[in-house]
Amino acid sequence: MTYTVVQWATGAVGKTCLRAVLDHPGLELAGLYVYSGRKAGQDAGTIARYPETGIIATRDIDEILALDADVVIHTARLQLPYEQHDQDLCALLRSGKNVITTAGHHYPAAHGPARLAMFDEAGRVGGATLYGTGMNPGYVLERLVLGLTGVCTDVQRIEVTELLNAATMPDPDFVFTVMGMGSAPARLDLRAGPLAVLFGKLYAEAITFVADRMHVPLEEIQPDHTVRAAERDLEVSAGRIPAGTVAATEWRWHAISAGRRFLTLSVIWTMDPELDGYAGRNHWTVDIEGRPDLHLSLDMSDPPGTGLRTKAGQYVTAGAVINAIPAVVAAPPGVFTPPVFAPFARP
Ligand SMILES: NC(=O)c1ccc[n+]([C@@H]2O[C@H](COP(=O)([O-])OP(=O)(O)OC[C@H]3O[C@@H](n4cnc5c(N)ncnc54)[C@H](OP(=O)(O)O)[C@@H]3O)[C@@H](O)[C@H]2O)c1
């Protein structure tokens, strides 16, 4: 069976998905939506640095809505507010296209029944399904961690840590203004501000999904974010980070159940992977305290010699999208809840 695919946005992840679609014998590109005026009118192959495809990029949403396609791969940039993409996603669903997005929407139910009902209703109208995925959020907690709990006879506590070396991030505006790197530690409050709201909503979905699947009543998600200062002057891709200014942000949430921390998720971005306590650590670590205790450590490497700038983190995100297509297309209309086989669950 061949699935027809529209690619929506061609940033780092979008281009990786686009190439994966063009490479895949079971997928056929049917359309391409871009935000950039420079890319509009270009052949999809040119944007992907592949041979021409005959599919021309458009900025006209109505052109995309009018297409006949099985699925839209939506890899738009997360925007403020978090709900910024709702209108486009609902329009795509109502037009009869299944949507797999990497821009949030991993578990809309985490934000209450009204938000879930909105996407379910759009899906019902178009007979289409919405699925938000990626590596984290999307895979690490929702599939790896939940899967691991399935070999425990008891789970008391889960700790998941992501450690991302952000020193190669090229965009100074994102690194210094959005992430707050290079600012005075006392002046960067990770509990307030736009990024805190965005991240809080995004990761609450993954955390709530885990708690719901394990039948763990979630009382509260407590933010516990901190920053680390540079121990030396740093030269990174985006510019200079003087010693004493922010070199790492540690985003951390504790899921509270029965008055104690049941799950802790840390997402650490560092401009200095050698900072005390970071060196030698893998990209993700999972520690499950229970019967038995389990420890998982996962890393990834950039594939050599592709001639592309695509990083391992973009491949894993695209992989989670591409491999979900048959299940999402086959799923009933509404928000897709990915299957989890036999996690540990409280009775
Ligand atoms: N869950 C995960 O593990 C995971 C991992 C990585 C990324 N992500 C998510 O995947 C998405 C894509 O990431 P990325 O690394 O590809 O980002 P990116 O390189 O910044 O590219 C995002 C693309 O969004 C489009 N864009 C431009 N202006 C926009 C606007 N105002 N609103 C929405 N989109 C706009 C552009 O598309 P055109 O260039 O086509 O015009 C841009 O290239 C993001 O939402 C990111 O948070 C998730």
Q: Does the Cβ of 75 fall within 6 Å of ligand 1? A: yes
Paired strand residues for 269: 164, 249
DSSP letter (8 states) at residue 253: E
Q: Is the peptide bond before 292 cis (omega within 30 degrees of 0)?
A: yes
Q: Which atom of ligand 1 is nearest to the CA of 136?
A: 3
| Rounded distance between C-alpha atoms, residue 246 and residue 243, angstroms | 8
Q: Does the Cβ of 196 fall within 6 Å of ligand 1? A: no
Phi-psi region of 241 (alpha: psi -120 to 50; beta: other; left: phi over 0): beta
Ligand 1 centroid to Cα of residue 76, in Å, is 4
Read off the pTM.
0.97
Q: Which atom of ligand 1 is nearest to the CA of 34?
A: 40
Q: What pLDDT tens digit does each residue of the chain (347 aa) get? A: 899 999 999 999 999 999 999 999 999 999 999 999 999 999 999 999 999 999 999 999 999 999 999 999 999 999 989 999 999 999 999 999 999 999 999 999 999 999 999 999 999 999 999 999 999 999 999 999 999 999 999 999 999 999 999 998 889 998 998 889 999 999 998 988 888 999 999 999 999 999 999 999 999 999 999 999 999 999 999 999 999 999 999 999 999 999 999 999 999 999 999 999 999 999 999 999 999 999 999 999 999 888 888 999 999 999 999 999 999 999 999 999 999 998 999 88
Taking 3-state DSSP, the helix, strand and coil percentages for the chain, each rounded to the nearest 5, stand at 30, 25, 40
Q: Does the Cβ of 101 fall within 6 Å of ligand 1? A: no
Ligand 1 centroid to Cα of residue 74, in Å, is 9
Q: Does the Cβ of 141 fall within 6 Å of ligand 1? A: no
> How is 94-144 classified by DSSP, letter by letter?
HTT-EEEESSS-S-GGGG-HHHHHHHHHHHHHHT-EEEE--STTTTIIIII
Q: Which atom of ligand 1 is nearest to the CA of 57?
A: 40
Paired strand residues for 240: 235
Nearest CA to ligand 1 atom 2: 134
Task: Count how many Cα atoms sit within 13 Å of the Cα of residue 274 in the half-sphere of its side chain.
Answer: 4
Q: Which atom of ligand 1 is nearest to the CA of 9?
A: 40
